[in-house]
Structure 1
Amino acid sequence: MNTTTEQLSATTLLRFATAGSVDDGKSTLVGRLLHDSKSVLTDQLEAVALASSNRGQEAPDLALLTDGLRAEREQGITIDVAYRYFATPRRRFILADTPGHVQYTRNMVTGASTAELAVVLVDARNGVVEQTRRHAAVAALLRVPHVVLAVNKMDLVDYAEPVFAAIAEEFTAYAASLGVPEITAIPISALAGDNVVEPSAHMDWYGGPTVLEHLETVPVSHDLTECHARFPVQYVIRPQTAEHPDYRGYAGQIAAGVFRVGERVSVLPSGRTTTIEGIDALGESVDVAWAPQSVTIRLADDIDVSRGDLIAPADDAPAVTQDVEATVCHVADQPLTVGQRVLLKHTTRTVKAIVKDIPSRLTLDDLSQHPAPGTLVANDIGRVVVRTAEPLALDAYADSRRTGSFLLIDPADGTTLTAGMAGASFAAEADADAAASADDAEWDF
């Protein structure tokens, strides 16, 4: 292993997403970040230079480093989430450059769902606009722990400190009201490179970090070993070999926390308790395993365990319910309606479900709730109540982004309809009248 490889293996990983309104300069910022941190290969620069020349531009358009689809390059906009991987001596990065158009807000949900940090861009000439508030709301709903406000195009407002200060104050107050825990405001010019990688000579009034410096030093708070221990069963292993005739193991990836041999655990949703007899990792027996390792857990008692079950500490197990109340972002073009039959996918478990109620839809300009909308359309954020055919063991999304999230899927064609974040779960009595009036008996529950 050479020195560079050793350095990279020792650095931490930061997943972050960029967001902002149309033409705020997200892709230019990412391109500048990649270019000035020397994370772009020569052939990539040559391709960008050629594409820029074909569009009549004299200088290479760094935004093309992330606008990878032909349709994006032709329109000069970002229409899909573009992922890029790069590294500095201090940290490794996975970035998601998300679209700015209102109709692509759902793409930001995809990009920010696994992010530890979100960079929200604002055009210094326009200030905080509706889409800025929308992106702040999505970051808050997805529990992104760190938000950076990048006030871009400062060169077009003569690098004026009062302009930056007013925008930073307005955004910080709004994001704080949403519950965003940490907000850092940085004045930049992505086109000129001010405060992106190198400090700006035009803004000596600013004494904070550059964008890259902040990305390299922000505390990474995604240590899954500190979370409630959760193990979704993906596969049951029964090799039935002469060497191990009675072997029965449950394979999967530890979603969060730590598991130890001898620990008392519950298997959910059945609620049966037993003890971890053994843990196998990479063909070897180990005494302890932690997230995000992929392992096989062996239990002391012969109980019924199958794909989709959840193994958790007996004294720290999530609630089991068939009624799921959640905040969702609707991502499909077809609407979500009350009474609609769907599939709900939670970790490795997929069950039939019915949308019982849509209590409200969020109005992002003033954070008011529109009561009883009846339907949710693409990019809407709202509250739903879903009744599942089988019990589920869900955490609150605030406690676990992994085991507190789920998808609603169209059973007809497998289309993802909605991304959900479990809120208050409650165990309500079955609605016998509603079940009796359902058309399809196998969906009655």
Structure 2
Amino acid sequence: MRTIDLRGRELSPADMLAAVPRATQARAEALDTAARIVEDVRVRGEAALREQAEQFDRVTGHEVRVPAAHIADALASIEPPVRAALEEAIVRVRRGSEAQVPAPQTTEIGPGARILQRWQPVHRVGVYIPGGKAVYPSSVIMNVVPAQVAGVEQIALASPPQADQGGRIHPTILAAAALLGVTEVYAMGGAGAIGAFAHGVPSLGLDPVDVVSGPGNNYVASAKRAVAGVVGTDSEAGATEILVVADADADARLIAADLVSQAEHDEQASAVLVTDAAGLADQVAVEVERMAAVTRHSERVGAALSGPQSAIVLVDDRAMATAFSNAYAPEHLELHLADAADAAAAFTSAGAVFVGDQTPVSLGDYMAGSNHVLPTGGQARYAPGLGSYTFLRPQQVISYDRAALSVVRAGVVALAETEVLPAHGEAIEARFTA
């Protein structure tokens, strides 16, 4: 990992972002391709999906709509320790998600005048689970459970067909779907799957959804942009990111392990350490090099850590570290600080904040009870991670009786006249004339 020394400099948020640029070129290149793939699925449906499966997944002649027997087979064959872990994760994520559903609230504006604020679930959701460099049954849980907690009635799931599974979806993903009671499953991947969810595929019995959620590569993220306005989407999640803020007392070995763990996802993954302790920075660099060389996916990890999107950043003090983190707005933020619990409040822009050296991002990926589908690319400045609220629509229900309407009668008429919309006022007056 390269080291960037920002000490002794007055930097704006833009300067800080320029110091550690994100890997954006691949996303930009994916936009046009993803849009074409989505349009092809809209126009040609199943035929386009099958051609894409042959081109991208090396699969032909597979069952695009997964038979119930395949799902049952996958659940029957899952290893007991993996099943137990998935069931425990489901319980934890369900508990965490339940806190994200607001209770209905009624506001009394005046006598006989009230507004009910309620949160309505969307009817139908399409969940996408990637299947490229790794297998993600945990993402099945992270997407399906919040939708179920929100009250979504129909949940469809898609994941790429696997050549080494005879064109079936990976069995661990199917088993996770079975544990959650998801029976509408499609073996389709990438941007094409997003297009299929948005526009529907009649020959498969796939109806369009209201919201598409789930992580994926740059083509999946770009496809979500292409269907925005046709359906709702959770976020354009890109390559994973971890930013660690650490002080001189932090454990270099643990920091290095966490940086390597996220670099394992993808060559474009971002791994950043921000610290005011030069000695710690040197120790982390040594530990990262050692761990990266021996980990299973060392080539992928090495590419991510040596890319321009990863760095060790030296700053003057805690204030500068905080400012850098808030400007960067990472997907995952770890605080390896002696006073991490107290310091956390100052770190306002992050998809999720992991407090203390015993709370690694890996915990959030699987068993924390929080959701691991989080905003990347700086979107944490304005966007949340996935939660039950992703599948809810706030809705106002207004109720006035005649007496309450009479209180504001003159005011509505006056404003309608000012806006040269007299029929608005006449609609009010009609209630007080014979």
TM-score over 0.5 for the pair: no
- Structure of higher RCO (CA pairs closer than 8 Å, 6+ residues apart): 2
Higher strand share: 1
Normalization by structure 2: what TM-score?
0.23
Normalization by structure 1: what TM-score?
0.23
Higher helix share: 2
